[in-house]
Amino acid sequence: MHRTRIKICGITREEDLRAAVASGADALGFVFYPKSPRYVTPERFAALAAGLPPYVSSVALFVNAGLEEVRAVVDAAPVALLQFHGDETMEECARVADAVKRPFVHAYRVRPDTAPADLLECELAYRAASPWFSGLLLDTYVDAYGGAGKVFDWSLIPKELAPRVVLSGGLSVQNATDAVARVRPWAVDISSGVEASKGIKDARKIADFIAAVRAADATIESEHPHESSTGSSPGEPGSHP
Residue 1 banded pLDDT, cuts 50, 70, 90: confident
**121 within 8 A of 132, measured Cβ to Cβ:** no
List the chain domain ranges: 5-223
User: What is the percent of the chain with per-residue pLDDT over 70, rounded to a whole number?
Assistant: 91
Measured CA to CA in angstroms, residue 184 lies from 31, 131, 197 at distances of 26, 25, 29
Q: What is the pLDDT of residues 19-52, one digit of tens each?
A: 999 999 999 999 999 999 999 999 999 999 999 9
**205 within 8 A of 195, measured Cβ to Cβ:** yes
Stated pTM of the model: 0.92
Active-site hit among 16, 26, 93, 139:
139
Fold of 5-223: TIM Barrel (3.20.20)
For range 205-224, the mean pLDDT:
95
pLDDT of residue 148: 63
Query: CA 75 to CA 154: how far, in whole Å?
Result: 37
pLDDT of residue 238: 37
pLDDT at 131 over 90: yes
Could you say which DSSP state residue 87 is in? S
pLDDT of residue 237: 38
For range 131-160, the mean pLDDT:
88
Q: What is the mean pLDDT of the chain?
A: 93
9 is catalytic: yes
pLDDT of residue 229: 57
Q: What is the pLDDT of residues 67-125, one digit of tens each?
A: 999 999 999 999 999 999 999 999 999 999 999 999 999 999 999 999 999 999 999 99
Q: What is the pLDDT of residues 153-205, one digit of tens each?
A: 999 999 999 999 999 999 999 999 999 999 999 999 999 999 999 999 999 99
Write the CB contacts of 54 (distance below 8 Å, at least 6 apart in sequence): none
pLDDT of residue 239: 47
The candidate with the shortest Cα–Cα distance to 13, out of 34, 33, 31, 1, is 31
Active-site hit among 9, 16, 26, 93:
9
